[in-house]
Amino acid sequence: MPPIYEKPSYEKYDYVLIGGGSGGSASSRRAASYGKKVAVVEATPYLGGTCVNIGCVPKKIMWHAADLHEKMTQHASGYKFTGLGTPKFDWAVFKLQRDAYIRKLNGIYASNFEKEHVEFHQGFGNLTSPNTVEVTLPDNKGKYTLHADKICIATGNQPTVPSDEEIPGASLGIASDDFFDLVEQPKRVVVVGAGYIAVELAGIVNALGSETHLIIRGETVLRTFDPAIQEVLTPWMEKTGMNIHKMSKVVRVEGQKGQTLTVHTNKGEKIEVDVLLWAIGRHANTQGMGLEELGVKLDAKGDVVVDEYQNSSVDGVLAIGDVQGKVLVTPVAIAAGQRLSNRLFGPEKFKNDKLSYEDISTVVFSHPPIGTVGLTEPEARKKYGDDAIKIYKSNFRSLYFSMIDEEHKEPTMYKLVCAGPEERVVGVHIIGQGSDEVMQGFGVAVKMKACKQDLDDTVAIHPTSAEELVTLR
């Protein structure tokens, strides 16, 4: 195992980062590649942050398991596979296997640090000046100070959970991060929230056969997404057996942890479940770091306020990733971190390097998956005016489902939002099998400011779902 440092190796570092997640790791390694003295302070023993340990990676693995379960139980018979019996998912054994893979990734992160001469200091980091980070060792075994020319805050965020004062019994539930600690598959689950984390986790347990309830405040899930996405996904989730409680809020939770819980809603419903999971949002990990005392400006949500170059309000203190509240996805943290190190430590050609936060593609691993980039239709109409917007949309089912029973045929919807007389593609919103993979290429097209004619001039790949985007009329 590569070394974990417990004291400074240098009188002064070029760059110290607090947080060893995706952004901190990427930025530190890029800085080290320019020959700089770099240290990363991480509170946990495991590098990789939320994404590797309790986010994107284990989530996608669980999504694959859920997707495979659907294929075996609902699709295989349509393709005339017989003798499969009733597949049973062994959650407990699979968890051990999944966790082992995550530990392997942690080891890769640590090995990369060692190879590229990035020091890993395990402990809680807080700023005592614009150029010093105090590191408190685990279990309060001691403290020491790292001095640096530049300090970067890359501590990410954490789930928001209501207090028992706000909702009596709320603490009987678990946060979305705790989902991956569940040793056994819960038979009955309530997920609270309508965002992508709620949709993904509810979709996983539902597809694996758990009785699943989703409590949302509005009429649809994913309310910040294009309306066409909401209108396709919400009824399909209900069709797959998920119980969506619309226009609802949790008002009280009764029971004991580890036993049956009774979740009460504002509509008088009583839902008995084994697990209550809160997925109502996240907030920045900025508590106890000495930021406000130092004059680092935070917004009302606790996010570090930064300019376009990731500079905070204090000279020499920077922030990247979820902690600065803009586009909360792993690749953004990585890209911002790498560009920041290019600007700070790289050659002259990178002196103005920065990340553009426009037209960033993202996906939701729902069932079926979603891909989206650019403006939603309402956003485009607000920006350019109704008369300047042209919508191209198609609803269909992919060829894969032609052999499958009608009740299990997943919907697909592809939509282009175009603006101006040149019909520049300012938004792409797709849902359906394979949309997560399709999105990456069309994200490039939007970033390059492609117009509808550019898509029309592209010869289709047949038979695919993706060809629909270059044949829309």
What's the pLDDT score for residue 12?
Answer: 97
pTM for this one? Answer: 0.96
> Both tokens of residue 237?
């989730």
Average pLDDT over residues 386-400: 98
What's the pLDDT score for residue 258?
Answer: 87
Which residues, including other chains, have CB under 8 Å from residue 304's CB and lie 6 or more apart? 153, 284, 286, 291, 296, 297, 298, 312, 319, 323, 324, 325
CB-based burial, 312-328: b 16+ in 10 Å, e otherwise: bebeebbbbbbbbbbbb
pLDDT higher than threshold 70 for residue 82 = yes
Average pLDDT over residues 91-105: 98
Specify the residue for token string 């890209």: 335
pLDDT higher than threshold 70 for residue 282 = yes
What's the pLDDT score for residue 67?
Answer: 98
What's the pLDDT score for residue 29?
Answer: 98
CA dist., res. 304 & res. 319, Å (int): 7
What's the pLDDT score for residue 84?
Answer: 87
The helix/strand/coil state of 229 is helix
Q: What is the mean pLDDT of the chain?
A: 97
pLDDT tens per residue, range 239-261: 999 999 999 999 999 999 889 99
What's the pLDDT score for residue 145?
Answer: 98
pLDDT higher than threshold 70 for residue 1 = no
Catalytically annotated residues: 462
Work out the pLDDT band at 81, boundaries 50, 70, 90: very high
pLDDT tens per residue, range 202-229: 999 999 999 999 999 999 999 999 999 9
pLDDT higher than threshold 90 for residue 39 = yes
The helix/strand/coil state of 204 is helix
pLDDT tens per residue, range 299-313: 999 999 999 999 999
The DSSP 8-state label assigned to residue 208 in this structure reads T
